[in-house]
Structure 1
Amino acid sequence: MSDNSIPTPPPAPGTQPPALPHPGAAGPAQYGQPAAGSAMVPASGYPANGYAAHGYAAPGYAAPGYGAPVSAPRPNSGLAITSLICGIAGLVLAAFLVPLIASVVAVITGHMSLSQIKRDPSLGGKGLGITGLVLGYAGIAFLLIMIVVFVFSLLVFGSLSFLPFFM
């Protein structure tokens, strides 16, 4: 059953902590009490925190004996990084003919990186490859829209004399 009593405060510094009973002499542990010999007691005589004696972790800390295994992050695919850089360059350099070249390179390397990542699970960078693909396709679409507007303006106005720098 449960013991609803308030726990006793630790003894004053310099006093002797209560001794643990002999492992063979103790009966079953009561609620809130560790089984005899089951808790590691530091030199002070008390567990480092009240939770550790019961197998629970203090708030903000991992429980004793529990912890997620830490592994090194997977390296990103070089093709995915190239795709992302070329996709960004294709949109930034949209005033020149470079976006066509950079956007096409972004699309090609993006597809290559996604197939490389699918084949080799030790590589990461799927998000980089997808982002490079999207930016590459957006750069190509932007360039196609610019060409359509240019051709339309030639057909409607007959020349580029409406622009100040073509006079």
Structure 2
Amino acid sequence: MTGAVAAGAVAAGAGVAWWRLQPGAADDAAVQALWALSFQTPQGTALPLAAMRGRPLLMNFWATWCPPCVEEMPLLDGFFRQHSPKGWQVVGLAIDQPSAVRTFLARRPVTFPIGMAGLEGTELTKQLGNLTGGLPFTVVFGPDGAVRQRRMGRVSEADLAAWAQAS
């Protein structure tokens, strides 16, 4: 009997862990408000999200201190270079200090725009369905501005290929 109880506890724990890593529903009001936001780039220029509406957008929340975030950056950059001629946009929103982001990008440059979301970016990810506030967190928006996909954790080439094909 003890073994059955232990097995049940392990299964329940695994189920809770799986559930916590699944994106929740995005808040519709937050999605609409998102398009009015503007972020500062590490270079100090404005990055208005309204200018990105109308084409598919992959938005990735990341930080320099997050190993899976750092690991997926070349993959996201490759996706941007391959799919931007087809209308796709990619933006990275850093939940980090500007100086750390500038240092990181000097060592590992990317071709897609980066905005500084700061600690407020964590709250934005939660409004977009990131129940835990963990990183990396990726949201795909359709040309109409609606959320099409969300991924908590590192994206894969298969994710990116499926998202590109579905657009």
After TM superposition, the score normalised by the length of structure 1 is: 0.22
Which of these two proteins has the greater Rg computed from alpha carbons? 1
| Structure with the higher strand share, 1 or 2 | 2
